[in-house]
């Protein structure tokens, strides 16, 4: 029986593509850890949806592409990664889905409290993990340039999950919890000049 544990990381080092060993808190490992967490949260969302739900196919495609993205993040700039990126095409697909959903949503004009239905709450969690992953990716990008399609893809995911969280509330006829109006709306209602 092959053991799952190797003990090679017991001293705080881990391997990346190409055989190099780096500290476990290296920014490349940190960025990939965030992407891994994001993929796990998406898996939770999918487990809460019916197998026939219209979002299953898109979320499955996102999960698969995140695995490809992680392989590229794990690869130093001077190494070749054999896994083909489809992030640009999937980014466009996410934008199209957001446009479709947004047409069905009422304009809210408010900052919203994360939560609501269990699925909506998990989508908000996915949104925040995507934002953290994006921040770590930009830190890595400044040290070791990434394919910019990766950065655009992860940025778009956080927007997608926000829209999906709102749509899930509407699908379940659950009222959104508002925090406060956007600043431009407050200016309008107070009678002040706006840009």
The mean pLDDT of 45-52, rounded to a whole number, is 97
Residue 195 in any domain: the answer is no
In a domain, 111, yes or no: yes
Q: Does residue 8 form part of some domain?
A: no
In a domain, 85, yes or no: yes
Between CA 123 and CA 114 the distance in angstroms is 9
| CATH code assigned at 52 | 1.20.1200.10
Q: Are 93 and 84 in contact (CB under 8 A)?
A: no
pLDDT confidence of 192, banded at 50, 70, 90? very low
pLDDT over threshold 80, residue 16: no
Question: Cβ neighbours of residue 101 under 8 Å, at least 6 residues apart?
Answer: 163, 164, 166, 167
Torsion-angle region of residue 22: left (phi > 0), alpha (psi -120 to 50) or beta? beta
- pTM assigned to the model: 0.84
Convert 23-54 to b/e letters by CB count within 10 Å (16 or more is b).
eeebbbbbbbbbbebbbebbeebbeeeeeeee
The whole domain housing 31 covers 13-189
Task: Supply the pLDDT for residue 195.
Answer: 39
Q: How many domains does the chain have?
A: 1
The answer to whether 144 and 72 have CB atoms below 8 angstroms apart is no
pLDDT at residue 189 tops 60: no
In degrees and rounded to multiples of 5, residue 184 shows phi and psi of -65, -30
The pLDDT value recorded for residue 136 is: 97
In a domain? residue 7 = no
3 located within any domain: no
158 pLDDT above the threshold of 90: yes
Closest CA to 151 of 134, 174, 129, 171: 134
- Whether 194 maps to a domain, the answer reads no
- Per-residue pLDDT tens over the stretch 75-129: 887 777 889 999 999 999 999 999 999 999 877 666 777 788 999 999 999 999 9
What is the structure's pLDDT at 160?
Answer: 97
Render pLDDT for 127-140 as a digit per residue (tens, 0 to 9): 999 999 999 999 99
pLDDT given at position 176: 80
């Amino acid at each position: 029986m092959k053991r799952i544990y190797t003990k090679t990381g017991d001293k705080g080092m881990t391997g990346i593509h190409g055989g190099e060993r780096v500290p476990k808190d290296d920014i490349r490992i940190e960025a990939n850890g965030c992407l891994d967490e994001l993929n796990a949260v998406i898996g939770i969302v999918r487990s809460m949806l019916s197998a026939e739900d219209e979002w299953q196919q898109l979320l499955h495609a996102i999960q698969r592409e995140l695995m490809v993205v992680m392989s590229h993040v794990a690869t130093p700039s001077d190494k070749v990664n054999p896994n083909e990126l489809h992030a640009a095409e999937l980014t466009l697909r996410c934008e199209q889905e957001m446009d479709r959903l947004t047409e069905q949503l009422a304009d809210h004009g408010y900052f919203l409290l994360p939560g609501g239905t269990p699925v909506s709450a998990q989508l908000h969690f996915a949104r925040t993990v995507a934002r953290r992953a994006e921040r770590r990716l930009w830190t890595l990008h400044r040290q070791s340039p990434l394919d910019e399609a990766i950065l655009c893809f992860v940025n778009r995911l956080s927007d997608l999950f926000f829209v999906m969280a709102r749509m899930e509330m509407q699908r379940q006829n659950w009222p959104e919890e508002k925090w406060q109006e956007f600043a431009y709306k407050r200016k309008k209602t107070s009678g002040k000049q706006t840009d």
